[in-house]
Every structure is written in structure tokens, then in C-alpha cells.
């Protein structure tokens, strides 16, 4: 399968001006600038775990595999440069069917790559008797010292989030927009971001990871969590939003960003709303470790991090 597919790839992958050498040699070559750091992230997605191929099709699976990696670059405040896409396609339905799946997979991810100026610069194409596996490594760059780590949150920093949360399983997990544009906009505004993460496993769980890495805690006002329509719809027959909030706090694969931003910077961002999607403050980081929730009455209770535990 590899040879005809490589021919197809070469015809369908646009040239990438920022890639010195792309697909077709033993490795790709990327130019470096000493003013930048290379940012590298890898995610592997498997049929039956991260997508159901027969339900969503190979195009959606391919798109998702690239998108989750671009989301990780966004969480570092990095600009995408190139992605490397390795696949193992099932040949249980024959070589022809395997080739079709491979082409659909790339047809699904190439528009996303183009949208975020991420070259497809290499990878590995295989067929086997197992289910579809897609492994993507995305490479980006960020000016030296400007990467957003998980470990820089400080007590008093505002917890800002992009977009809305909950119910991603209905469709968003397959069709989300990685927050690359938002990250780059914040970088271009020289926004002071102390820490960041993308929400892959659940808002509360990923927030707890920033806290663990930063040696601090976080207090959340639950009623401020921006809920997606899909999360709210889960609960249309109920008389309160507790269940919807639970989805917002614990559903995985929202792929929104959580940012730790100092108060003065947060105030400005919340007022100016410089992104095309809402930025919302849901609480603040605390010196005491652990997650807490603050009720409208002012009462403070523990908040158990919940989400998708691998």
C-alpha cells in the first residue's frame, strides 16, 4: 500500500515554504532560528478508544489526530510548524479499502493543517490486521522564554478559560477547533500568561494538573463555568444546572485552554475580549494546595478533580 499512497500524498500535500525538506527522504529538515525554541508534542489515537471508525469515518479520525496535537501546541503558546503523521491502517477489508481509508484520513486532516499553516512533513504508512492507529507528532516554535508551561501559576492569578465546557462527546470531540489562533493572538499582545493547559481530560482534572505542577491550589466558582449548549441539553428535564455543571467540570475533550493570568492582566483581557471566542474567569489560584469550590453564599467546599483518567 505504501508506494501508491506516497504518490498520492506527494500530489495532495502542498509545498511548505517553512520546511527545508519534506516527505520523501529518510527524514525531514526544518530550519532553526536561535530566537525560537522547538516545541514538540505527540499523541496516538486508536480506533475504538479515541474514535469509532465505522461511526465517524477516517476523515474525522484524521482531523482529530492532528487537532489534539495542535491543541497541545496552543497550550504551550506555540506556532505550528510541521506535523508527522504515522498510521497503521487495517487491511482486513483488502489493500484497496486500506488505501481508501488512508486517503480519507489525510483528506480530513489536510484542511486543518492548511488552516493553521502546519506543514505535513513526514510520517510512516503501514497496513496490518489490527484496527486503525494514528500517531501524530506536531512541531511548533515559540520565542525563547515565552512558552506557557503548566508550572508557572501563582496564588492570586485568575483562572481564565476559552470557550465553553461539557458534552463534547456529542460532536465537539471530533470537530473542535484547536485554540491555536487564540494562543497566538495572546502571544502577539504580549499577554502575561503564567501557566496554561488544554482541557483534554476534564476541566477540573486538567486544572488540578496546573496546580500540581505549580505547587498551588485553585478555587472555582461553579456558576461562572461557561457551559456548552450540549452540556445544558443533558439536563433539560432537570430543575437545576448541577448536572450540566458536572458535565462542564468533568467531561473530557473540550480542548479549550485554561490560563493562569495575573489579576491586572485578567481584568484587561476580560474587558477587551481580544479573542473571537469568549474568555471567562472561573476562579483564581490559591496558595493552599488542592481544588475548592466557592458557593454563591461564600461558603467554601472541597472540589474533587474529575475527568478521564487514563
Strand partners, 294: 300
Question: Least distance to its own copies from the beta carbon of 20, Å?
Answer: 6
Considering the complex, state which of residue 174 and residue 205 has its C-beta at the smaller distance from its own copies: 205
CB crowding 133-143: b at 16 or more within 10 Å, else e: bbbbbbbbbbe
**DSSP result, 47-107:** BTTTB-HHHHHHHHHHHHHHHHHHHHHHHTT-EEEEEEEEEEEE-TT-HHHHHHHHHHHHH
Can you tell me the distance from the alpha carbon of 286 to that of 216, in angstroms, rounded to the nearest whole number?
6
Question: Least distance to its own copies from the beta carbon of 226, Å?
Answer: 21
Considering the complex, state which of residue 10 and residue 264 has its C-beta at the smaller distance from its own copies: 10
Question: Least distance to its own copies from the beta carbon of 213, Å?
Answer: 7
Can you tell me the distance from the alpha carbon of 199 to that of 219, in angstroms, rounded to the nearest whole number?
17
Helices 53-75 and 180-188: crossing angle, nearest 10°?
10
Considering the complex, state which of residue 104 and residue 137 has its C-beta at the smaller distance from its own copies: 137
Considering the complex, state which of residue 129 and residue 188 has its C-beta at the smaller distance from its own copies: 129
Of 160, 207, 158, 204, the closest CA to residue 183 belongs to 160
Considering the complex, state which of residue 87 and residue 266 has its C-beta at the smaller distance from its own copies: 87
Type and span of the H or E element at 247? helix 242-250
Of 201, 162, 193, the closest CA to residue 180 belongs to 162
Question: Least distance to its own copies from the beta carbon of 284, Å?
Answer: 22
Question: Least distance to its own copies from the beta carbon of 133, Å?
Answer: 5
Considering the complex, state which of residue 209 and residue 268 has its C-beta at the smaller distance from its own copies: 209
Question: Least distance to its own copies from the beta carbon of 137, Å?
Answer: 4
| Contacts for 238 with CB less than 8 Å, ≥ 6 apart | none
Question: Least distance to its own copies from the beta carbon of 206, Å?
Answer: 10
Of 217, 227, 77, the closest CA to residue 157 belongs to 217
Question: Least distance to its own copies from the beta carbon of 269, Å?
Answer: 21
Can you tell me the distance from the alpha carbon of 176 to that of 120, in angstroms, rounded to the nearest whole number?
20
Type and span of the H or E element at 266? helix 263-272
Tell me which residues touch its own copies (CB under 8 A).
1-3, 20-21, 24-34, 36-44, 46, 48-49, 72-73, 75-76, 78, 82, 84-88, 121-126, 128-131, 133, 135, 137, 139-142, 144, 147, 149-151, 196-198, 213, 309-310
Considering the complex, state which of residue 105 and residue 197 has its C-beta at the smaller distance from its own copies: 197
3-state SS class at 1: coil
Type and span of the H or E element at 272? helix 263-272
Considering the complex, state which of residue 258 and residue 266 has its C-beta at the smaller distance from its own copies: 258
Amino acid at each position: 500500500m505504501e508506494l501508491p499512497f506516497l504518490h498520492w500524498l506527494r500530489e495532495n500535500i502542498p509545498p511548505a515554504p517553512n520546511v527545508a525538506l519534506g516527505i520523501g527522504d529518510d527524514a525531514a529538515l526544518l530550519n532553526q532560528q536561535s530566537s525560537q525554541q522547538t516545541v514538540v508534542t505527540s499523541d496516538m489515537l486508536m480506533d475504538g478508544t479515541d474514535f469509532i471508525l465505522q461511526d465517524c469515518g477516517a476523515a474525522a479520525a484524521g482531523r482529530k489526530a492532528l487537532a489534539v496535537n495542535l491543541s497541545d501546541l496552543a497550550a504551550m503558546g506555540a506556532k505550528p510548524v510541521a506535523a508527522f503523521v504515522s498510521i497503521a491502517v487495517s487491511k482486513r477489508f483488502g489493500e484497496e479499502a486500506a488505501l481508501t481509508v488512508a486517503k480519507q484520513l489525510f483528506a480530513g486532516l489536510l484542511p486543518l493543517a492548511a488552516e493553521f499553516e502546519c506543514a505535513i512533513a513526514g510520517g510512516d504508512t503501514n497496513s496490518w490486521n489490527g484496527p486503525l492507529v494514528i500517531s501524530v507528532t506536531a512541531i511548533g516554535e515559540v520565542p525563547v522564554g515565552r512558552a506557557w508551561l503548566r508550572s508557572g501559576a501563582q496564588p492570586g492569578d485568575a483562572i481564565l478559560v476559552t470557550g465553553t465546557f461539557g458534552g463534547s462527546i456529542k460532536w465537539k470531540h471530533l470537530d473542535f477547533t484547536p485554540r491555536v489562533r487564540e494562543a497566538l493572538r495572546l502571544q502577539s499582545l504580549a499577554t502575561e500568561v503564567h501557566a496554561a493547559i488544554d482541557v483534554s481530560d476534564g476541566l477540573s482534572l486538567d486544572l488540578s494538573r496546573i496546580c500540581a505542577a505549580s505547587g498551588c491550589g485553585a478555587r472555582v466558582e461553579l456558576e461562572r463555568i461557561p457551559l456548552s449548549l450540549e452540556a445544558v441539553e443533558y439536563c433539560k428535564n432537570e430543575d437545576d444546572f448541577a448536572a450540566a455543571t458536572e458535565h462542564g467540570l468533568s467531561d473530557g475533550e473540550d480542548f479549550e485552554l485554561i490560563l493562569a493570568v495575573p489579576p491586572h492582566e485578567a481584568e484587561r483581557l476580560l474587558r477587551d475580549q481580544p479573542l473571537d471566542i469568549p474568555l471567562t474567569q472561573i476562579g483564581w489560584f490559591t496558595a493552599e494546595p488542592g481544588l475548592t469550590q466557592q458557593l454563591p453564599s461564600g461558603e467554601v467546599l472541597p472540589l474533587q478533580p474529575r475527568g478521564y483518567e487514563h
